[in-house]
Amino acid sequence: MNEGRRAARRQVLQVAAKLLEEGGSEAVSTRAVAAAAGITAPALYRMFDDKDGLLAELAAYGFEMYLAEKREALALTPDDPVADLYRGWDLHVDFGVRHPAFYMLMYGTVQPGRRPPAADEAHALLVTLLGRAAEAGRLRVPAAQATRVIHAATTGATLALIGEEPAERDLTTSARLRDTVIASITTDPPASSGSDLASRALALDAALETALTTGVPLRDTEAALLREWLQQLAG
Amino acid sequence: MNEGRRAARRQVLQVAAKLLEEGGSEAVSTRAVAAAAGITAPALYRMFDDKDGLLAELAAYGFEMYLAEKREALALTPDDPVADLYRGWDLHVDFGVRHPAFYMLMYGTVQPGRRPPAADEAHALLVTLLGRAAEAGRLRVPAAQATRVIHAATTGATLALIGEEPAERDLTTSARLRDTVIASITTDPPASSGSDLASRALALDAALETALTTGVPLRDTEAALLREWLQQLAG
DNA sequence: TGTACATCAGTGAACGCGCGTTCACTGATGTAC
DNA sequence: TGTACATCAGTGAACGCGCGTTCACTGATGTAC
């Protein structure tokens, strides 16, 4: 029974998704969704709190699609965290170009401090990707900073692309920005001899961050001080 | 009389601008604007074609503010086209942060091929800035490509910033992206001896583009072929 | 197993609102002779 | 200079629509005894 309800919700979300893709966000009204799904308005209100709730779930649905694609594609990649950054960039941009209306809902509706709640998981994936690069000693800036830079540049490239007439879209811009930005936050694989101080400090820092939850043979204050030093070595 | 009309329009636009800044784009309805301006609805319709017309003029008003600020600030700068790129970046981001609702109207409402008409002038300013850098031999990629990259990166940085809670906004990300992107499209000042082939080819190309309107001692086909070669040398 | 009751998804219909827009009209300003 | 007319910015009032949302109710499903 609960299962049936979830299936019904799912079907309504799929209908709403279709409306969104075909007519943009303004085509998604509670009435239009209910009508297209073949249910009455109160039935819709039984499934979703209100219109904001519906839109939030629709955004979550978009992030689900996005993450599924991205996880599948990245699973095929060999174990090269920096190559994953390149792939991740292209997958992001490609998703935006294929689903512009979803992309606008997910990344384009910018209001100070009002990020769609479902965005967290996508953000977490990016953090993970950069965390892995840091652990491999391939980052030359702290992962948090790298995340911000990548996020800003990727969305900028995607929105610029979406704004162009489909015929005249030019992926060179995205590729150029991608190469520039990723090169600026990563280093070459550490030479076995080299004294690549910054990236090693960051690699240790990333490993520490992971290990802190399971336990580390240092007092909290000691660990905090150590991490501060590592940041200084990295800067 | 006509002067009076224009003053009245101007006043209505100022009122609409205030509504926009205070309540975002959804606060700008024809009725709200008319009421706030102390005029009746039909009077508003006598001044502007319809709501789209009003919004287009409001966007133009925003671009006017933006360009006035930018031109004034850049006029103070000494004659260094690359320094102007840095200044231009910061001015753009700063404008966006100070006027988020305007910025969203001007740069955030992305629909394929439907750029606000008033955006052209702002885009032209960016093209000019990069053209000057090219003429000074400071560009390592064609100006058109540099324009696209800068535009994408700048809007991405600005929108990311606008999306953050004002308290936790971090200008480091913008600065880092700015430095990376500008460094990637520019070169150091040409050494007097150096064989900086690419930037010199691009400098000549930029000068040619300007001169083509006034006349150049080459046939059209010759000039076209020459420019093609210059692009090849630059690539 | 059968009956009485409770739960709850869904229905048909409507509420009230704000929206963009337009109607018929007024009154002031300018123009022609 | 004075009168008759044309122009046109602006008024008061309303149209009609689509919207988000909720009302009172039905009928099916599940539960208790």
Quick: pLDDT tens for A12-26. Answer: 999 999 999 999 999
Tell me the average pLDDT across A172-180: 98
Q: Residue A216: what pLDDT?
A: 72
Q: Residue A54: what pLDDT?
A: 96
User: DSSP letters along B104-126, please?
Assistant: IIIII---TT---TTHHHHHHHH
B77 Cβ nearer than 7 Å to chain D strand? no
Q: Residue A226: what pLDDT?
A: 75
Are B78 and B25 part of one and the same domain? no
CA angle at A66 for the pair B155 and A163, rounded to the nearest 5°: 30
Tell me the average pLDDT across A93-100: 98
| Contact yes or no for B17/B55 (Cβ under 8 A) | no
CA neighbor of B102 nearest in space, from B7, B167, B18: B18
| Cβ contacts of A145 on chain B, cutoff 8 Å | 172-173, 176
Are B77 and B1 part of one and the same domain? no
Q: Residue A45: what pLDDT?
A: 96
Are A162 and A123 part of one and the same domain? yes
Strand partners, A139: A186
Are A182 and A197 part of one and the same domain? yes
Q: Range of A13's domain? A: 1-49
User: Domain holding B19: CATH number?
Assistant: 1.10.10
Q: Is A186 helix (H, G, I), strand (E, B) or coil?
A: strand
Give tens-digit pLDDT for B114-173: 788 889 999 999 999 999 999 888 999 999 999 999 999 999 999 999 999 999 999 999
| Contact yes or no for B193/B132 (Cβ under 8 A) | no
B165 to A100: CB separation less than 8 angstroms, yes or no:
no
Cβ atoms within 10 A of the Cβ of B204, count?
A: 18
CA neighbor of A73 nearest in space, from A96, A97, A92: A92
DSSP-derived letter for residue B186 is B
Are A38 and A139 part of one and the same domain? no
Are B84 and B130 part of one and the same domain? yes
CA neighbor of B107 nearest in space, from B164, B173, B151: B151
Calpha distance B64→B102 (Å, rounded): 11
pLDDT of A196 above 90: no
Calpha distance A74→A109 (Å, rounded): 27
Tell me the average pLDDT across A213-228: 76
Strand partners, A72: none
pLDDT of A202 above 80: no
Are B153 and B215 part of one and the same domain? yes
Q: Residue B197: what pLDDT?
A: 66
Shortest Cα distance, chain A CAs vs residue B92, angstroms: 14
Calpha distance B120→A78 (Å, rounded): 45
Calpha distance B202→A231 (Å, rounded): 41
pLDDT of A93 above 60: yes
Give tens-digit pLDDT for A114-173: 788 889 999 999 999 999 999 888 999 999 999 999 999 999 999 999 999 999 999 999
Are A33 and A57 part of one and the same domain? no
**Amino acid residing at B231:** Q
A162 to B112: CB separation less than 8 angstroms, yes or no:
yes
| Cβ contacts of A156 on chain B, cutoff 8 Å | 152-157, 159
Query: Nearest Cβ partner of B172 from A110, A145, A159?
Result: A145
Residue B228 — φ and ψ, nearest 5°?
-60, -45
Are A179 and A73 part of one and the same domain? yes
- Between these two residues, B45 and A203, which has the higher pLDDT value? B45
Strand C neighbors by CB, 7 A: A 5, 8, 39-43, 46-47; B 1, 29-32, 41-42, 44-45, 50-52
Cβ atoms within 10 A of the Cβ of A39, count?
A: 17
Q: Which two tokens stand for residue B132?
A: 């000057």
| Domain count for chain A | 2
pLDDT in tens, chain B (235 residues): 577 788 899 999 999 999 999 999 999 999 999 999 999 999 999 999 999 999 999 999 999 999 999 999 998 877 899 999 999 999 999 999 999 999 999 999 888 777 888 899 999 999 999 999 998 889 999 999 999 999 999 999 999 999 999 999 999 999 999 999 999 999 987 654 445 667 767 777 777 777 777 777 778 887 787 788 777 777 7
**Amino acid residing at B158:** T
pLDDT of A194 above 50: no
DSSP-derived letter for residue B164 is S
Number of H helices, E strands in chain A: 11, 0
Give tens-digit pLDDT for A121-132: 999 999 999 999
Are B145 and B41 part of one and the same domain? no
Average pLDDT over chain A, rounded to whole?
Answer: 89
Residues 50-69/A with CB within 7 Å of nucleic chain D are 50-52
What is the pTM assigned to this prediction?
A: 0.86
Calpha distance A156→B159 (Å, rounded): 8
Calpha distance B68→B50 (Å, rounded): 27
Are B94 and B24 part of one and the same domain? no
pLDDT of A58 above 90: yes
CA angle at A192 for the pair A187 and A198, rounded to the nearest 5°: 40
Are B56 and B21 part of one and the same domain? no
| A interface test, pick of B104, B177, B178, B182 with most A CB neighbours within 10 Å | B177
Q: Which residues contact B167 (CB under 8 A, 6 or more apart)?
A: none
Count of CA atoms in the C-beta half-sphere (13 A) of A42:
0
Its sign, for the CA torsion A196, A198, A199, A203, is: positive
Q: Is B139 helix (H, G, I), strand (E, B) or coil?
A: strand
Give the residue from B12, B28, B49 where a domain finishes. B49
| Contact yes or no for A54/A36 (Cβ under 8 A) | no
Calpha distance A94→A56 (Å, rounded): 23
User: Domain holding B220: CATH number?
Assistant: 1.10.357.10
